[in-house]
Chain A
Amino acid sequence: MKVPVGFKILLLTVATTGFYTLVGQLVPQKEVYPPKETELKKDMSQDELVKAGKDIMEGKGLCTTCHTFGKSGALRFPDLAGIGARAGTRRPGLSDVDYLAQSIYDPSAFIVPGFNPGMPVINKPPIGLTDQEILAVIAYLQSNGGKVTVTLQSKVWPLGSSATAAPPAAPAAPPAAAPAEPKKD
């Protein structure tokens, strides 16, 4: 029996479409929902604040879309493992809190050598973290190798308004004098 050409074409079209649909079913399936809000209470303990900061970084803040913790090699953005220890010495004249606050509120102010600028302003849409949420993020970053000094009552931005940040370790120096540390921020 001779199969009509039209039927063969239909069969080919359906089979091709079916094959691509099948490929679509074989890859990982995940629904992505808008990030959930993390509840911040005034009477949070330090551990709770750090935990909230971690949740915000992985959720609403979208930080871990680009930044990693404990990875090395060909990275697109700086790895944040140990940032709590490095932040205070990263830029002369800036305390750890100042450095972290500046990195979040004004990310283009200093670019880690070896990387391109690209970090968005976090306290404006589409990410739009509140000042309180940013404090929680700073607490979590400090906890990565450093000492947590911020609370939800701290005021860290604009620079100089901080009551909790340690005084600058050294007098301010031009950015060119900043020590090169290409892989870690």
Chain B
Amino acid sequence: MLEVRNLQVSYGAIDAVRGVSLTARPGSITALIGANGAGKSSLMRAISGVTPAKGGQILLDGKDITRMPPHERARMGVAHAMEGRRIFHQHTVEENLITAWHFRKPQGSFKAALESVYGNFPILEQRRSAKAGTLSGGQQQMLILSMATLHAPRFVLLDEPSLGLAPIIVSQIFEFIKGYCAQGDRVVLLSEQMASLALRVADFGYVLKHGQIVFEGTREVLTSDAAAELSSAYLGAAKVKE
């Protein structure tokens, strides 16, 4: 279980996350939704350790990792696919996967893991020797997901994986994510700007605005009439017509 208690994160001069507490349980996908600038990415960066937290706590299965450096958290089983499709553009697909595998002291064989990746995404096998920067957006996202899940981490953070992708690719990706989460004692935290997407696969969601949680609930609650809250979080309140 992933637990965040009263987390505060500053990004430059802005207080991006202002006291957020949430819980993400294994076996189901937890969604983080909110407009751009709401603090979703900063929250994830604090959980994976890329950005240090200014205050609050992060607990993995009860263990406080708030002060742990990011590479150690990675070795503990935290995987974070950052926003903006970050991969090693100058490395080939296979080199990217090698880099993702070797430093986290994984169990099992790389060969088996690689076969599994190619089984999920055959196009990656076809383009295994191509430089990652030359892949299409969708292919890059497949690579990122593979890199994040290659070594079967127990805590996966996905920051806007659907950004800029065609619907059919998005479906493919979400199938993969659902499948991954179902396979065991795994926590998946998924952030999307487009709420409906996240709620397709998530069972529980948190709505962020200005660095704070303004609404939370199960999928049913979020997609019902109470969704007016959701909409106003993005589009502002409608003017009352006199």
- A and B pair up: no
